[in-house]
Structure 1
Amino acid sequence: MSRTITRAVVAVGGAGTKMAPITRIIPKEMLPAGRMPILEHLVHELRAARITDVLFVISSRKPQIPAYFGSGAAYGMDFSYRVQDDGAGPGAPVLAAETWTAAQPFVLAFGDNLIRGAADSEIPLQRLVSGTPDCSVLTRIFPADGIPAHETLLGAADAPGPGSAAVAFSRDLLDHAGAQWVHACAARWVLGPFVFEALRACPPRPGGELYLIDAIRRWISTGNELTALPLRPDDLRFNCDNWETYHDAVAALRS
């Protein structure tokens, strides 16, 4: 069923410990990449995907974010902010946004990830929100023996091609043991109201953290499906939670 998604939740609460000490002063999402902060690239990405309302879930250590972006009027958008300091894992910002989403499907974006489509092409997020089901994610396909550290793995994949098609993930595809290629989640989701119940039903990990991917896997295991939309080989994605990837992003935006 076709519907228009106009809301986005942006998770920007992480401490940025891998980029300390500078992140004690400047949030990692506000570090410059090209002519603007990393997070401002995401704002432009959301606007291009026709998102009008954005909730930033921040920590109290990041007053620079609301100070910089304000009400969103300068972007023709409406920005709200919610503070979350409990360090309860990447699933927690989703639960914090439950009432704000007003039981409508929404985009979830992680603010330290910079994603750009190939020149003169539709941005990946536009492809994700165009008619996809209410449980969808952008992915990057990696060879199983070359997965970068800290990627969130989804399941087995076919080798990437120039027009990689969407894949419906059900229970039998989640296991990637023995696969030559794997899908890794690429920090952009479309989620429906089901996700809040799925998160509440999901037990935290031993450290007390709640992970979105655990809730999604649990939801799939009960007979539901997730649609994975692979990034194209010439799309760019930088997970700027470490200096090496951040420098790669800065270099790419200079070229």
Structure 2
Amino acid sequence: MTPQASRPLRTADVARESGWSVQQVRDLERLGVLPPAARSANGYRSYGPEHVRALRAYRGLASAAGPVVARRLLAEAMTGTLTDVAAAIGAVHVRLAGERDEALRARAALGAIEGEESGPDADVMTITQLAAALGVRTSTLRFWEQEGLAVPERVTTLRARQYGPAAIREARIVAALRSSGYGIPAVRDVVGSLRRLPGVDEGIAEARLILDRRLDQIATRTVALLRAGADLAAVLDPAGT
């Protein structure tokens, strides 16, 4: 639906056109997401198409980068220069591209793990060796252990940790997921699924499915950012719409 340009818009009109509630429109105006509304003689707010576009831009930015970043970007758009706003939007694109690259690297790591064979004669690693192989600190492995992730198969009387093939593989999967931005609770759920599944391949397939869902989410956020960019451009340059 195209905003009515021939008459001022009421709060309810803007809410209907943008998909937000009346209270959300008022709250977002208060937070600086919208240009200040004009006031009629009787004190009622009076909006225009630029307010609808700003709200649509905010929705896309919030989906792509989160509400805090979206509010900052819209507030900057009201007061900053076109160059500054374009740079901020570009930074969000770069961040999304980085998240996508991390997820793809994690998928590649899972593929490498899946292609390996580990038998009873495979090497056992100390915590120092495993940390070096994963590119993390030994304190990180201890933290993962406390959280129920990548648990060593044996701890000697001198508190030396030893990781066998299964524990090493699990640690590598944890590292792959963590490097892709997954928090500890989400990784714990994955590891729990891996342990319940009958074989290594099934566990890795489950982890890959989770990464595929993350890639889908990043793609959705990227499309939302593209749409928000078009709406934001219309806010910055109404004459070009």
Q: TM-score, structure 2 length as denominator? A: 0.23
**TM-score calculated relative to the size of structure 1:** 0.22
Say which one has the larger Rg: 2
